Structure 1
Amino acid sequence: MSAWCSLSSMTRQTDSLDGQQVVNVYTTRHYQVDTMLFQEFTKRTGIHVKEVKGTAEELIERMKHEGKTSSADILLTVDGGALAFAKQHGVLQKMSTKALLHNVPREWRDQEQYWFGIATRARVIVYAKERVKQEELSTYEDLAHERWKGKVLVRSSASLYNQSMLASFIELNGQQQAEKWAQGIVRNFARPPEGGDKDQAKAIGAKIGDIAIMNTYYIGQMLNSSDPEEREIAEQLGVFFPNQLTTGTHINISGIALAKHAPNKENAVQLAEFLTSTEGQTLLVQGSYEFPVNPETKMPRLLNDWRSFEKQTIDVATLGRLHKNASDIFEKVGWQ
């Protein structure tokens, strides 16, 4: 019996709304698989999931403003820096159970157990297989070389993904080298940044650029999309994990945390246990193509093919303190 099953069978006292058990999730995630997961959770427990969507900054500010009257039970967000920011601003409380500690390895949870990862994502180089040879690729730093002038696609500096990536370069290489890299990328833009990661892949397909900086799971989603155009584009793309002989590929997380004034605390803990359980993780990665945190997860073949790569050895929670530095660099070099 899994840790989720053994714990979920326990009787828990919960608050209710009109006789209906609920858990209120403040979430920055926008993936269809989350809806499926919440429906499965409701089917198993009878607890209905109510979502409030927004950016991490908006939701954390809302939780601060609402204080003890907040309806938030769970904060679910991408980016380790955002989770650390929420912890620093006092809107979370510790959440530690035997199931959570079993499901989530130490590297993917807060040292004081204020938050737990539910998935990880690698930020990689995606390239047009017909125009770029894999042996031409090596590191993030090399993308700033003039040989890539007019060929690089990437989303805007407002993206948390890019802010944390640049923050990791500041941590590894220092502010000056990080700024030099960002300047080089701006010089090599195929177009001004626009759209999300899938839009960068589509721009490669349209021959606007030859390489893009993207999260792996978008390629997984496109390869398995119901849209034949997305599948066709994705099949023309290669995925390259940079810096394998140096500092490793940048990786970040999605994570879950218990709100400080959660009115449905027991329900919230049950949801966290389910999302990190073998069953929950298997459903998650089969729909989102993120990497799981639970090592017992059954992964799609694509993720198994991708999973063996050298990662940056940076605590993802520390990246938040360098977001301001990263934003200053982006503004200075004209990365819109």
Structure 2
Amino acid sequence: MKIAFKNKIAAAVLILVGATSAHAQDNVLNLYSARHYQTDEQLYGNFTAQTGIKINRIEADDNALLERLKNEGKNSPADVVLMVDAARLWRAQVFGLFQPVQSQILNARIPANLRGGDEGKGAEWFGFSTRARVIVYNKVAVNREDVSTYESLADPKNKGKVCTISGAHPYMLSLIGSMIERDGEQATEKWAQGMVANFARPPRGGDTDQIKSVASGECGVTIANSYYYARLLRSTKAEDRDAINKVGLVWPNQQTSGTHVNIAGAGVARNAPHREAAVKFLEYLASDEAQTYFANGNNEWPVVASAAAQSPALKAMGKFKAENLPISAIGKNQIPAQKILDRAGYK
């Protein structure tokens, strides 16, 4: 009897230890993130303080994260996957790397056009900040009126003036995807051909390189994400101040469709071991407090209407009319976008 009683006590202790261990594991969130900003430390720290859930991070660029998730398969420890472009989020969705989420909080606070997936089953990813694809021109070499729209960059009057990043870059594919959604493939291909004809040099470098090439006079005009312009605007480096003083900013297509916008967004990983914590984290990112940290970390705009942008550079850049297209459609169109660019010789 005494032996049996001792065995029951031992079994009870094991159950208690197991339950405690499982509870400790539930207070963890594994985040795969393509964001790398100092303000994220405060963002994640606040989440842990509010929920008791510790965040473990793996940071890499979007392509590396996608490959890692595919290779890990069902054994992946990822709970939340955070990426910085609609085309990449769409790729993750197509690869089956997200799972649908039904959340009243997310549905109420994140605009429908900034969500991806089958809304009937629940969105698979959500946009949490936006950035704009703006036109930057040399104030001496180019007339502002000649570069007021994306379409105008392909006009023969801008021959020999245009510089851009590679056509294979996700930022360009997303822009082309929006043009396909709005204007159709035929008109978009004609635009791409006009852009190639107007190149000052073959595409190379990143968006900051393009802006500096416009400032130096190597190019007359370029397209860049708004936060690259904002970074130069906020910079205290003499070379950056000199560059920003030589260029002007255009919010494209203000009289028609509006300026193209892209997102940084996240979803719950397909095989998330801590699903409840993952959904809590996404809902936290939609709070006013988190929206401020998330957007300001990269000079972007919050997606939640009640959370105002705080970046002084964005305020200095002014307000603009944004396009109102489904971000998921823009991502989906990256395949025909790449084919169009290939046919046009847009390297």
Shorter-chain TM range is 0.7 to 0.9
Cα pair 1:15 1:22 within 8 Å, conserved = no
Q: Secondary structure at the match of 1:63?
A: helix
Aligned to 2:244, which of 219, 234, 242?
234
Equivalent residue number for residue 142 of structure 2: 132
Q: Confirm or deny that 1:116 pairs with 2:123.
A: no
Q: Confirm or deny that 1:68 pairs with 2:74.
A: yes
Aligned to 1:101, which of 95, 98, 107?
107
Equivalent residue number for residue 15 of structure 2: none
Give identity over the alignment, percent: 39
Equivalent residue number for residue 324 of structure 1: 335
Q: Confirm or deny that 1:214 pairs with 2:220.
A: no
Equivalent residue number for residue 172 of structure 2: 162
TM-superposition CA deviations, 1:271-313 (whole Å, max 9, x none): 2223221111112333311111011123234434656433333
Equivalent residue number for residue 151 of structure 1: 161
Equivalent residue number for residue 193 of structure 1: 203
**CA deviation after TM superposition for structure 1 residue 253, in Å:** 1.2
Unaligned runs of 5+ in 1: 1-12
Residue type of the alignment partner of 1:210 = G
**CA deviation after TM superposition for structure 1 residue 134, in Å:** 2.4
TM-superposition CA deviations, 1:94-140 (whole Å, max 9, x none): 23334333432233223332211111111111112333332333211
TM-score (norm 2): 0.83
The separation in 2 between residues aligned to 1:298 and 1:313, in whole angstroms, is: 19
Deviates more, 1:181-190 or 1:43-52: 43-52
- Rg: which structure is higher? 2
Equivalent residue number for residue 82 of structure 1: 88
Aligned-CA RMSD value: 2.6
TM-score (norm 1): 0.85
TM-superposition CA deviations, 1:117-164 (whole Å, max 9, x none): 111111111112333332333211110122212211211122111001
> Against the structure 1 CA distance between its residues 291 and 328, is the aligned structure 2 distance closer, same or farther, given a 3 Å change threshold?
same
The separation in 2 between residues aligned to 1:257 and 1:183, in whole angstroms, is: 36
Q: Confirm or deny that 1:180 pairs with 2:190.
A: yes
**CA deviation after TM superposition for structure 1 residue 30, in Å:** 4.0
Deviates more, 1:320-329 or 1:21-30: 21-30
Equivalent residue number for residue 14 of structure 2: none
Equivalent residue pairs, number: 322
Q: Secondary structure at the match of 2:333?
A: helix
Equivalent residue number for residue 344 of structure 2: 333
**CA deviation after TM superposition for structure 1 residue 184, in Å:** 1.4
Cα pair 2:150 2:253 within 8 Å, conserved = yes
